[in-house]
Copies of this chain bind each other. A is one copy, B any other.
Amino acid sequence: MREEVASSCPVPKVDSERIRLAHGGGGRLMHGLLEKLILPAFRNPLLDQRHDGAVFDVPGRVAFTTDSYVVRPIFFPGGDIGKLAVHGTINDLAMCGARPVALSAAFILEEGFSIEDFHRVIDSMRVAAGDVPIATGDTKVVDRGKGDGIYVTTAGVGVVDHSLAINPAGVRPGDAVLVSGDLGRHGIAVLAQREGLSFETTIESDTAPLWDAVSELLRAGISIHCLRDLTRGGLSSALVEIAEAAGVSIGMDECAIPVSEEVAGACEILGLDPFYVANEGRFVCFVPATEAERSLAVLRSTRVAHGAVLAGRVAEGPRGRVTVKSRIGALRILDMLSGEQLPRIC
């Protein structure tokens, strides 16, 4: 991803090259890790308050969200656990129609984890967060064998400065279903890296912040009914969840939904269905049918959603039923994942 160019700080000198239990003990070593590694990377006026929390002004309505990240491996083509955590929380806020104003970062480190890798993750979070301050945080260390290097939990606060109620309850029969781009890159990128598979071209994760695209829709005055990013469980699980919550059915058109040749090929070899593979920079958007064309034009003008398509339509019922018309015209029913397709993908 292009923004990584900005990221090349040297690893600061910390007291050791590996995480020790005492780095989580609340004393001198933890203080040193904070002062030398974490605070300089995330530097901002909120964090500089050096308090148990950050205090700031927000006007009116706010959105609040959290996610833990346990992805393996922690570095993969196109991203890493830190970038994913920052984008994921920005995206959950964006899916509420909220502009991100502050993030938190909590780390659970395993004794022995490399300080250099920790620095790489933190630096990547700094770059991914851009203008959004990482305002508060926490670091805990667990004994060797009781963790897996690093787990990251982010939370975020965002400001809602419009009067739309963007959530599943807003979805109506007749709504157009837009998909913001091609599916499956993130899941396949992580899986390929984990299993040591190589394809002709390296598939990179689609991880990206989605706020800019949502912001453009709002600016254009689109009456957004619902937004959902297509993470764990992929497009299928997101659609089924929304159809159940909204009490509607959804009909999708497979031909309309882009899947790159590389991802389609990898899915075929691996026996995966791209509709169920996790994405970290794609979302589905429900809008009134009359605003579908205008919404598509707005989305296609943004970097992250330039591949947006009109891919389906909402109908009355039966509640929770999601169907997809295949390339040869057959109708199949989509369900949520029933087992585990790709563990630890985010």
Contact = CB atoms under 8 A, between A and B. Distances in A.
A54 B231 CA distance: 18
Q: Is the interface of A mostly helix, strand, loop or mixed?
A: mixed
Interface stretch (A95-103, A122-130, A249-257, A324-332): A95-103
A301 interface: no
A261 interface: no
A141 B68 CA distance: 10
A52 B108 contact: no
A341 B30 CA distance: 12
Contact of A336 (B28, B61, B106, B342): B28
A146 B143 contact: no
Contact of A68 (B30, B64, B138): B138
A interface, size bucket: 35 or more
B146 A55 contact: no
Interface in A208-232: 228-229, 231-232
Given A57-B61, A98-B55, A66 B106 contact: yes
Contacts of A142: 70, 148, 151, 344
B66 A155 contact: yes
A26 B148 contact: no
A104 interface: yes
A27 B343 contact: no
Contacts of A49: 167, 169
A126 B63 CA distance: 21
Nearest to A155: B155
A58 interface: yes
Contact of A98 (B27, B30, B53): B53
B344 A143 contact: yes
Report, nearest first, the 8 A-B pairs whose CB atoms are least far apart: A27-B337, A26-B232, A26-B233, A53-B65, A155-B155, A22-B340, A66-B104, A153-B153
Interface of A: 20-22, 24-31, 49-70, 91-93, 95-96, 98, 102, 104-108, 135-143, 145-148, 151, 153, 155-158, 160, 167-169, 228-229, 231-234, 237, 241, 245, 278, 335-344
Given A21-B343, A55-B160, 17 more contacts: A25-B342, A27-B233, A27-B340, A28-B339, A29-B338, A50-B245, A51-B168, A52-B92, A53-B158, A55-B64, A55-B96, A56-B61, A57-B61, A70-B108, A143-B344, A151-B151, A153-B153
